[in-house]
Structure 1
């Protein structure tokens, strides 16, 4: 069985770029869903519609895969049986709601904050909540002591998020809204860590593809309900844009989850998380430099740099055996 202890050093080195790619996929999905939201109309209605499109398209693709793949069909059947028998608590399979919140926050905040600031806030939320998930034993490995590498990375990630809040609130006229927008991806990132912990426990019982499919079912359902609520709020929808790439967000979501499932068996949770964070931040800054350079200020680069220092420092501490 392939594990971080049995994987060869050559395999680990060869697959390291894939962990960066995982983070890059998250940043690309944020760009796509943010752009789709801005083209679909105004208000929460358009932002949530973009999230529904992303999650819904992913659900359609995954459902087709499950129908065509016998092993995945058996996993889904096992999931349903364990829920009926009560051996799998219902609360353990609602992690997809956090995924829905994350995708919705992409459409709500990235048009204003930019991809780089959005990702830095997400990373801060993920890093802090990961400490809580490990400490409380919500993940598949049970209770895990807070490690010095992860604590180091989390502290610098939070410092970076504070700078993002300052950057977002530099315009006095929009300070309140800017700070609120910076808070949303922070919460969404925290929810992602909870989702990963729950997913790990479910996957250990029913398998990775059934877990992924269930996440998209739950997330899409939650987003559809939220979308209906937004029709009571200000906003409007316009005709869907025709650019095909605006509808690939769900595909990047599936690629992120599928690659993570393989990489975690080779590198472990902490190493995968650190490399993925680096990939998110690097890709996000590059995207904003190309697409929206006006959204990058001095504090944006400082925040991204702090996050990367936290990642490199955490990996260095871990390599030296610091726990």
Structure 2
């Protein structure tokens, strides 16, 4: 595998947390755009499309982007990694689609809990199987505890918003979609991270992610266009189109970090950032029905504590033997 610089956890984890902050900001922007257009699928397509345009510009204007493009065809032709990794962006499209399809029924809080449960559990499995560029990572008791504490932190943080979502069997099937999407997110990060190593830069991996995701969403939207007709006119406000750049930050940093931190730890850091970003938005730009109580503040703190426990060298000898 080509040489790539390893980042120490003291640098990588803050980067993961910062990139996670972009997720609730992107969700808020895309949600507002979907309401304005009356079409959540169109909003997702615009988000992916603006991200794709930005990544094309970065790939062409920056030397590392051009160098990565030069490695794209040789990497695929020589099968340096499985070609299915080029389709990692379709997982992102599935995640966005699951938001558009189920959030109105489940609510944001329950959707978040379901997706985080899937992502953290699959993060353990992906690291154990060695699918990511960082190789195999042993499942230690502290990593399991870190996963459980992270899920508990998310449940605690969103618990004020879980009231009224219902607990009937009618929610079981809708819950399966965000759980599945969350499970696949870990594989997406591993695939993008592996491709980034072989391209020599996460820029090209992020570009390919947006190409694949935009293609799937465009096809789905065209089908919907034939059935339901066009959405409302595009809004003039510039901030409606920042969802794509937020996604570039999240995907690019994730592809960079999984080699050094592993899929699980990268995901935990991003989840902590997601909780912190959601808290900041609720405090600075609250939406109708926003509730900020003790649990809303304590949840992100517990998530950060879970990350610290997971990174401490409790089982360094066991990991070295593995």
Q: Structure 2 length as normaliser, TM-score?
A: 0.79
Q: Counterpart of 2:320?
A: none
Equivalents in 1 of 2:195, 2:161: separation in Å?
Answer: 39
Tell me whether 1:55 sits opposite 2:53 in the alignment: no
Tell me whether 1:223 sits opposite 2:217 in the alignment: yes
Match of 2:35 among 26, 38, 52: 38
Tell me whether 1:140 sits opposite 2:142 in the alignment: no
Equivalents in 1 of 2:276, 2:249: separation in Å?
Answer: 18
Matches within 5 A, 1:238-277: 238-260=232-254, 271-277=265-271
Deviates more, 1:62-71 or 1:199-208: 62-71
Judge conservation of contact 1:38–1:111 (CA < 8 Å) in 2. Answer: no
Equivalents in 2 of 1:187, 1:308: separation in Å?
Answer: 27
CA spacing shift, 1:51–1:317, aligned 2, 3 Å: closer
Equivalents in 2 of 1:168, 1:225: separation in Å?
Answer: 34
Q: Counterpart of 1:282?
A: 276
Judge conservation of contact 2:193–2:259 (CA < 8 Å) in 1. Answer: no
Equivalents in 2 of 1:169, 1:180: separation in Å?
Answer: 19
Deviates more, 1:211-220 or 1:79-88: 79-88
CA drift at 1:103: 2.9
Equivalents in 2 of 1:260, 1:159: separation in Å?
Answer: 23
Deviates more, 1:97-106 or 1:129-138: 97-106
Instruction: Tell me the C-alpha RMSD between the 2 structures.
Output: 3.6
Equivalents in 2 of 1:144, 1:267: separation in Å?
Answer: 10
Deviations 1:56-104 (A, max 9, x none): 1111111122222343233223222332344443212111111112233
In structure 2, runs of 5+ residues without a counterpart are: 317-322
Tell me whether 1:93 sits opposite 2:86 in the alignment: yes
Equivalent pairs, count: 310
Tell me whether 1:196 sits opposite 2:189 in the alignment: yes
Q: Structure 1 length as normaliser, TM-score?
A: 0.79
Deviations 1:166-214 (A, max 9, x none): 9658355x96676655543333222211101111211121122211111
Equivalents in 2 of 1:282, 1:292: separation in Å?
Answer: 16
CA spacing shift, 1:272–1:134, aligned 2, 3 Å: closer
Judge conservation of contact 1:125–1:190 (CA < 8 Å) in 2. Answer: yes
Deviations 1:209-230 (A, max 9, x none): 2111111111111111122233
Judge conservation of contact 2:52–2:210 (CA < 8 Å) in 1. Answer: yes
Tell me whether 1:24 sits opposite 2:21 in the alignment: yes
